[in-house]
Amino acid sequence: MFNFNFDNTFLKLSDDFYEQCEPQSSSNPVLVIFNSSLAEQLNIDSNIQNHVDYLVGNQQFPGSAPAAHAYAGHQFGHFTMLGDGRAHVLGEHVTEGNERFDIQLKGSGRTIFSRSGDGRATLGPMLREYIISEAMHHLNIPTTRSLAVSRTGEDVYRETVLPGAVLVRIAKSNLRVGTFEYAVRTEDKDNIKVLADYAIQRHYPECADDLNPYLSLLNKVIVQQAALIAKWQAVGFIHGVMNTDNMTISGETIDYGPCAFMDIYKPSTVFSSIDHQGRYAYHNQPGIGLWNLTRFAETLIPLIDSDETKAIQYAETALKAYQDTYVQQYQLRFGQKIGFENINPQDFQLVIDLLAILEKHHLDFTSTFRALATNTFKNQSFFKHDDIQQWYKEWLNSMDNQNQSTDSYTLMKSVNPAVIPRNHLVEEALSDMVLANDDTKLIQLLSAITNPFSDDHDAQYLNPAPPSERVYQTYCGT
Bridge partners of 253? 143, 247
Question: CA–CA separation, 327 vs 324, rounded Å?
Answer: 5
* Catalytic, out of 245, 275, 347, 364: 245
Q: Report CA torsion sign: 64, 165, 159, 264.
A: positive
Q: What is the 3-state secondary structure (H, E, C) of the chain?
A: CCCCCEECHHHHCCHHHEEECCCCCCCCCEEEEECHHHHHHCCCCHHHHHCHHHHHCCCCCCCCCCEEECCEEEECCEEEECCCCCEEEEEEEECCCCCEEEEEEECECCCCCCCCCCCEEEHHHHHHHHHHHHHHHHCCCCECEEEEEEEEEEEEECCCEEEEEEEEEEECCCCEHHHHHHHCCCCCCCHHHHHHHHHHHHHCHHHHHCCCHHHHHHHHHHHHHHHHHHHHHHHCEECCCCCHHHEECCCCECCCCCCEECCECCCCCCCECCCCCCCCCHHHHHHHHHHHHHHHHHHHHHHHCCCHHHHHHHHHHHHHHHHHHHHHHHHHHHHHHCCCCCCCHHHHHHHHHHHHHHHHCCCEHHHHHHHHHCCCHHHCHHHHCHHHHHHHHHHHHHHHCCCCCCCHHHHHHHHCCCCCCCHHHHHHHHHHHHHHCCCHHHHHHHHHHCCCCCCCCCHHHHCCCCHHHCCCCECCCC
Closest by alpha carbon to 171, among 198, 133, 201? 133
Exposure class string for 100-110: b at 16+ Cβ within 10 A, else e: ebbbbbbbbbb
Inter-residue contact 225 to 289 (CB < 8 Å)? yes
Question: CA–CA separation, 350 vs 345, rounded Å?
Answer: 10
102 is catalytic: no
Show which residues are catalytic. Answer: 245
